[in-house]
Amino acid sequence: NVLMPMGWDAFGLPAENAAMKSAQAPAQWTYDNIAYMKQQLKSLGLGIDWSREVKTCTPEYYRWEQWLFTRLFEKGVIYKKTSTVNWDPIDQTVLANEQVIDGRGWRSGAVVEKRDIPMYFFRITQYAEELLSGLDQLEGWPEQVRTMQANWIGKSFGVRFAFTHGNDEKLWVYTTRADTIMGVTFVAVAAEHPLATRAAQNNPALAAFIEECKQGGVAEADIATMEKKGMDTGLKVTHPLTGEQVPVWVGNYVLMGYGEGAVMAVPAHDERDFGFAKKYNLPIKQSIQVAGEAFSTDAWAEWYGDKERGVCINSGKYDGLNYSAAVDAIAADLKAKDLGDKQVQFRLRDWGISRQRYWGCPIPIIHCPSCGDVAVPDDQLPVVLPENVVPDGSGSPLAKMPEFYECTCPKCGGKAKRETDTMDTFVESSWYYARYSSPQCTTGMVDKASAQHWLPVDQYIGGIEHAILHLLYARFFHKLMRDEGLVPGDEPFKNLLTQGMVIAPTFYREESNGKKLWINPAEVDVATDERGRPTGATLKADGLPVVIGGTEKMSKSKNNGVDPQAIIDEYGADTARLFMMFAAPPDQSLEWSDAGVEGAYRFLRRVWKAVSDHVAPGVVAAYREGELSTAAKALRFQLHQTIAKVDDDLGRRKTFNTAIAANMELLNALGKFTEQTPAARHVMQEALEAIVLMLAPIVPHLGQALWSELRPGSDLLDQAFPKADPAALVQDEIELVIQINGKLRGSLRVSKDADKATIEQLALAHEAVVKQLAGGTAKKVVVVPGRLINVVV
RNA sequence: GCCCGGGUGGUGAAAUUGGUAGACACAACGGACUUAAAAUCCGUCGAGGCUUAACCCCUCGUACCGGUUCGAUUCCGGUCCCGGGCACCA
């Protein structure tokens, strides 16, 4: 049973294979691939239901997404909160993260504002622990992806504690370095922190600074790269352990959305705080010492932040304690004062899904002046998108359509307003795999029995750019659905293959309003220097220069996609597929180039010719057993070695390029094999059949056509993948490499049963070794069975 | 800035567990076939040196610097560059 969560192109794009036809291909070569494959699979009685297609932008799909939304909203798994976004002050719309560069908008020079808007959130943090621990079980996932997700979730063990001030008020902070608490010299709060707001009331300079902090992006990258700025609020808080008065600063690098919106600052042992303290002349107080190192406030040194080697100093009763002992002691003391405790924290934040867009599933909420936010009842689902929409490029078109948003409250029947935000399309892509199990189901999101049967997905394939967000959201959604009793198991995808990016150069021109107009590489002429580096580019249409951007992943937004259609038109879908598979392994990123497509095409023609030449004198059966010449034996050895390799390359390693290369080598060997005896022809038949079967997944049309030549009346789709014959892989003699001091100096053929002593003896008698020893003796001889001998001189 | 990858000939790449660096191709060059072209086939193809008796041999070479090892593209430490992600592209 195979569930195919993939596009139609998995079967090959419909193309008239004119080029292949001219290369003596038979007439039946030309067909509509999809129609042909459908018909073939149907005639084979494989029970394929071609109506089992899932589209994620249909009312029925929306119905169940909204159905789940209303349930989760009532349970509080989805909640509403104010959130800070990047805001385009000219268009009055939310800016996408990629439209923000260094805190500036995509218009040259336009400064981005932060703005608070109400948003719906999925409480993904509730599942943080499970999302993290579940990674260990995902053995079919690349290590790289598991590491990225673990870092993203970012579990940390720290201490949450409070500085006290005023009339028993508390300023809470979270730190993973409680051992440095005696080195605190100030506290930094976010611009939006209540304490900052209060201090700004009679401090115009501070109020202005807070306003300034509201400019610039909210992306993590913006905050990490921007200049760290701050201003003293004039307020002081009391250190919970020393009782000292500590100044409170507003810092533009502290975000209200993270943790408590306030951080303790230890300039001596945190590089960022150190820079900040130097800039504003704040005290730096050493509280950690590493033996043999000298502390100086002049410049930052790596060891200042070393929690492995550091022990407390200048810290009173904590002096001499290492990291974990100090944290334990300090947390205990804070707890005793009721001013803090150890706390596990996650970096992961809740998932904001509200979008001010037209595309996307409408959020099924009705805002009633008297009842508040009311979920749309099941019998009024789905809320569908209106179709007569004229987007004007600013804000959501739905918000300008009274016919969409005017409604009555389901609870009280009064006049109410429908939510006009739609959901992040990541929500749709988070459960489509589950819907594939039961596409026709009209009684629920999924049919339980079908979901039980099909899930989890055995092999999931997607771009590496989805390593964190999409794959984390999908895992989270699976757990939500599991907890609603909809799907089995804890994880949606058993095995994961992450493709590398196909990258291409980008080109653009700046328009009069400052926005960038991205130009497709196909419309551009690029001039290069003698080393092949681009020196300039012009638009083909007008010959005037365009700006060369970076080389980035192909995307609609950067208009740097390359259409393989030109290759398909000229060489056919099989050649296009073979060429792409041969270019590089799938998990590697690839700068697109069509150089080399000729080679793929030539290879297919050679396969075609080899089969045609072989079947011309009449079809024979494949080799079974009997006497073979040395050459025929050697060919069978290579054949079965290739089968074993290709099986492993396709099945386990997913390195299609090396699988193809192995077939090329085998075909080259076949070309040199000229014996025409009956036995030799049987071996040839066996080899050609294997090549066709091994290549068929990559070049299905060629495979289908050639198989019918090799085995008239039988169908390729009935065949199993070839199996390596262990008997053919037995060799009497093996070749060992001789190294002297690790350098290749010769080789040796020995019996496969030769023992180490014999091999060593033979090696020492080898002329290259004798020459290098020059009468002396070998210091050491390393024998690696089946591989090499290394003589150390 | 932080997290995750990557860097090997003119080019795409291979070397799967530390064991022959450059498989398999592209491009280029030389040759065969041909009236000619296309197609096809054969050969050369990392850099430098040596020897023309030998298509034999030697040195260097996997971004850069250093280390571990009999042996490092592979492991460790550091640096540079490129790509992906950084929560509103999806």
Tell me, what's the pLDDT at A240? 96
Shortest-distance nucleotide from A468 CA to C1' = B85
User: What's the CA A703/C1' B19 distance, rounded, in angstroms?
Assistant: 38
Distance (Å, whole) CA A186 – CA A268: 12
pLDDT, one tens digit per residue, over A112-137 is 888 889 999 999 999 999 999 999 99
| Beta strand segments in A657-760, E | 733-740, 743-751
pLDDT, one tens digit per residue, over A394-435 is 678 899 899 999 999 999 999 999 999 999 989 999 999 999
Show which positions of strand B are touched by protein (CB under 7 A).
1-6, 10-16, 19-21, 23-27, 39-42, 57-59, 70-72, 82-90
pLDDT, one tens digit per residue, over A264-277 is 999 999 988 999 99
User: What's the CA A609/C1' B40 distance, rounded, in angstroms?
Assistant: 11
pLDDT, one tens digit per residue, over A238-263 is 999 999 999 999 999 888 877 788 99
Bridge partners of A505, per DSSP, are A551
Tell me, what's the pLDDT at A14? 27
Residues A614, A705 contacting (CB under 8 angstroms): no
User: What's the CA A737/C1' B60 distance, rounded, in angstroms?
Assistant: 22
Tell me, what's the pLDDT at A172? 95
User: What's the CA A531/C1' B61 distance, rounded, in angstroms?
Assistant: 21
User: Shortest CA distance to A187 belongs to which of A256, A242, A255, A233?
Assistant: A233
User: What's the CA A772/C1' B21 distance, rounded, in angstroms?
Assistant: 23
* pLDDT of A692 above 60: yes
| pLDDT, greater one: A653 or A787 | A653
User: What's the CA A22/C1' B39 distance, rounded, in angstroms?
Assistant: 12
| Beta strand segments in A492-607, E | 493-499, 502-510, 516-519, 524-528, 534-539, 545-553, 590-591
Query: Of A78-92, A229-243, A391-405, A618-632, which gets the smallest average pLDDT?
Result: A391-405
Q: Quick one: CA torsion of A423, A429, A430, A434, rounded to 10 degrees?
A: 130
Residues A31, A405 contacting (CB under 8 angstroms): no
Q: What is the mean pLDDT of residues A65-89?
A: 94
Distance (Å, whole) CA A157 – CA A143: 23
Q: Quick one: CA dihedral A490, A491, A494, A495, positive or negative?
A: negative
Tokens (6 digits) for A109? 């020079």
Percent share of chain A, pLDDT over 90: 56
Tell me, what's the pLDDT at A533? 63
Distance (Å, whole) CA A289 – CA A302: 12
Tell me, what's the pLDDT at A355? 93
Distance (Å, whole) CA A460 – CA A385: 30
* pLDDT of A9 above 80: no
Shortest-distance nucleotide from A746 CA to C1' = B20
* pLDDT of A348 above 80: yes
Give the HSE-up count for residue A242: Cα atoms under 13 Å, Cβ half-sphere.
15
Q: What is the mean pLDDT of residues A641-649?
A: 97
Residue A36, amino acid: Y
Shortest-distance nucleotide from A257 CA to C1' = B87
Tell me, what's the pLDDT at A121? 97
Cβ partners under 8 Å of residue A655, min gap 6: A585, A586, A649
Tell me, what's the pLDDT at A10? 30
Q: Full-prediction pTM beyond 0.80?
A: yes
Most confident listed range (A377-391, A467-481, A504-518): A467-481
* pLDDT of A166 above 70: yes
Shortest-distance nucleotide from A83 CA to C1' = B88
Tell me, what's the pLDDT at A344? 94
ipTM: 0.95
Confidence bin at A393 (pLDDT 50/70/90): low
* pLDDT of A747 above 80: yes
Tell me, what's the pLDDT at A645? 97
Tell me, what's the pLDDT at A549? 86
